Structure 1
Amino acid sequence: MKDEAEQTFWHDENLPYIEARSACNSYACYEKHTHPTLSIGVVEEGISKYHHQRFSKTIGSGSIVIINPEEVHSCNPKPNEHWAYKMFNIDPCWLAELQGEMTEGVEKYAPFSVVHSDDKFLYESIRSLYHFLLARNEVIEKEIRLIQFFSTFLHRFGGAEFKISDSNGNKKLQLARDYIADNCTSKLSIDQISKASDLSGYYLIRAFKRKYGLTPHAFQLDQRVNLSKMMLKSGMNLAETAFAAGFSDHSHFHLCFKKRVAATPRQYQEQVSGKAY
């Protein structure tokens, strides 16, 4: 009797342009089909037959498949053998916006010419991105990670160039920095910061880090920790401080604080106040 397959489907309403799925110990087979999204997947276990339009290849662990919207394809394990894989489905309109931000003159989705790769770095990056998206990270962290990943992906396989024009100027980056600082306790998104500073998400992430040395989210965490230090000095208890400073829970507060202060919130409060809370 075949072992039961494990399947996971992931979608976040705050990130409507991407969904993911994974399968482990799967014997399931697919007929040739199409879908309206760009699909990028990795084979983690087993041997499978990959058909893509007129392309056909036997692939195994470490392989990456890249399928443009509406392209006919199938990928199935060998008969009576199981396989494991992870797959992303990405809205081509969202990707087209990123392509346009990276490359002048691109106004609509530009298909990829590569349909298969054994690039080890990309393989591990896809697996890492999958686990990051399914973990309990804030939406802004996931947005940054997605833009960083697909910027690199477009550079490697789509011919897009990494361009940061100074025409936007430092004033808009300062607006972004001020907006984050003023709203550091809120659950911000890249889209909110982009609108407040009139910058594209791609430009914001790359130029912000180049200018300030931190991603927008890392800067936001710094602001939260600095705010929490003031609260702790005033005598506010740890649980109230964590909530008021915008942290999702006490463990997240404890971890971020210790990374930046080299002491726990309790240790810091006891030292600066001379009291135990």
Structure 2
Amino acid sequence: MNQTRHVNQTFLRKPGLELRSTWQSTQAYKRHSHTQLSIGAILEGQTCCTCNGEPFTLYPGDLIIIPAHLPHSCNPIAGQPRSYHMLYLETDLQPALQVIRNEALFRQYLTVVETLSPEAIGALLSGLAANSAPPDALRPSSLALLQTLRHSLQEPPSLDVLARRFSLRKETLIRTFKQDTGLTPGTFLAISRVEFAKARLRAGDLIADVSYQSGFADQSHFHKTFVSYTAATPRQYATGRSISDNN
């Protein structure tokens, strides 16, 4: 398996979008989600992407559309390397989860990769618009718990306290949240911390400050958790490129 510091990958950013390009990687990811619409393109090799408990095998030329906040994992098959692009977009458009095998849309996607232009992005989204579907509504307790955890990264209230606040048993609160989001509250909190950290790193904050701001106990815990969800170290993500001494 590639060591994370040696994975050949780059991060390119413009307002409202991020492009991650990864080459010949066998790095695996923990199950996670993103605050943005994610669109992946497989260039070489094969990838197994699991969403809602259903595995999808992706081949070169495939696109996968992953709605915002949908838990998923995309990992190598039989330890073999694969190359791919992942495009993260801030957009109100939320197409349904789907794998697309369409040469024209794949070419439009590659045009976005080459130019990152608003025109190319608009053409790609127009091609996906016919497949858009509204996200499922969360139950009130799940929505409240989600919002509470997002706004309490440093000192989140205990689940016992939250359950009493919602007049529910803790087990019921956890079960309902997992049914609605596909994640346990603890996993959602970890993902929210990583997503917050990514935003602060993109803004240029120091890694040590981001570790504290995100609610991690120490930099070692921050580094380990960040890598497990992003397959990139905080420093690599902050610099936007692969560097061999990325400790």
Normalising by structure 1, we get a TM-score of: 0.44
Q: Which has the larger radius of gyration?
A: 1
Normalising by structure 2, we get a TM-score of: 0.49
